[in-house]
């Protein structure tokens, strides 16, 4: 009976020891991924927009040359007819149309070159950046924004590769830092067209302002906002947006 009692009392201890071993093995193998997964869930509960990723916009047909709007040594096709009144400010020009549309053209030189600032910043931070993205290197600002805005907590699993988990952790932290140009509950889109790539914040069909962030193949970073004056009986269309994006180009030197 003593032997049976000793065996009975030792069974829970053995089970606990085995459980501790299993937990220890799990934490060694999946601890980093699990912590990243928990953090992602926590961040998403505090900032639900972190779950939002852009929908891809198909490439539209080419746009014929038309009247140009010029600012900061760049130009785009005027999205609407008429003669807008430019209202310049320190870092942007707002073109006001009599019909109520407004196009805000931000100074490309004032936009942060995020990738270059990482490369030329703290060497230790750049080395960490290189180590994290060694398997999926980032070669341009568009690729950096694409990876950041394309990340979401739902993509994290406690059982994923540790290097992928670390990369997702960094991308989500940057996504929190970058934020969105406008609220994304009205639509969030990406475009990767010949010569121009970027993101669109807002669906014009919903009658809301639209923000554009665009990158050309020469390393320029553009930002626009399309909106209307309160009470104006006009709408912004996707064709208006496409006309701007497809015609961004440097102004010829003789026209500057």
Rounded Cα distance, 236 and 80, in Å = 9
Please report which residue ranges of the chain form alpha helices under DSSP H: 2-46, 114-119, 123-132, 141-149, 162-178, 238-246
Q: What is the DSSP letter of 238?
A: H
* Dist CA 40 CA 164 (whole Å): 14
Among residues 52, 1, 61, 5, the alpha carbon closest in space to that of 181 is found at: 52
Cα–Cα distance for residue pair 26/102, rounded to 1 Å: 57
Tens of pLDDT along the chain (256 residues) come to 455 555 555 666 665 655 555 445 544 455 667 787 778 788 888 888 889 999 999 999 888 878 889 999 999 999 999 899 999 999 999 999 999 999 999 999 999 888 888 888 778 878 878 877 877 888 899 999 999 999 999 888 887 788 888 888 889 989 998 888 887 678 999 999 999 999 999 999 888 899 999 999 998 999 999 999 988 888 999 999 999 999 999 887 766 6
User: CA–CA separation, 15 vs 44, rounded Å?
Assistant: 37
pLDDT of residue 142: 94
Per CATH, is 56-111+181-255 categorized as 3.40.1000?
yes
Question: Following DSSP, what letter does each residue of 83-107 receive, concatenated?
Answer: -PEEEE-SSEEEEE-TTSEEEEEE-
Asked if residue 140 lies in contact with residue 215, where contact means CB atoms within 8 angstroms, the answer is: yes
Per-residue model confidence (pLDDT) at position 180: 87
Structure tokens at 231: 């009470």
């Amino acid at each position: 009976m003593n032997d049976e009692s000793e065996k009975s009392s030792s069974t829970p201890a053995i089970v606990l020891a085995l459980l501790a071993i299993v937990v220890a093995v799990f934490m060694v193998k999946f601890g980093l991924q699990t912590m990243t997964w928990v953090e992602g869930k926590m961040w998403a509960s505090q900032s639900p927009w972190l779950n939002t990723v852009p929908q891809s916009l198909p490439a539209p047909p080419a746009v014929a040359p038309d009247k140009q709007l010029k600012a900061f040594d760049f130009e785009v096709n005027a999205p609407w007819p008429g003669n807008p009144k430019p209202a310049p400010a320190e870092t942007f020009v707002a073109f006001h149309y009599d019909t109520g549309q407004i196009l805000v053209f931000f100074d490309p030189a004032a936009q942060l070159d995020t990738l270059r600032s990482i490369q030329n910043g703290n060497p230790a931070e750049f080395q960490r950046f290189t180590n994290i993205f060694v398997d999926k290197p980032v070669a341009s600002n568009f690729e950096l924004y694409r990876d950041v805005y394309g990340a979401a907590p739902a993509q994290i699993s406690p059982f994923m590769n540790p290097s992928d988990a670390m990369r997702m952790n960094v991308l989500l932290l940057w996504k929190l830092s970058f934020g969105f140009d406008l609220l994304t509950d009205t639509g969030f889109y990406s475009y990767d067209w010949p010569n121009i790539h970027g993101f669109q914040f807002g669906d014009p069909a919903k009658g809301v302002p639209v923000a554009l962030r665009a990158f050309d193949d020469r390393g320029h970073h553009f930002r626009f906002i399309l909106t209307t004056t309160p009470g104006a009986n006009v709408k912004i269309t996707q064709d208006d947006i496409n006309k701007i994006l497809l015609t961004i180009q440097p102004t010829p030197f003789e026209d500057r």
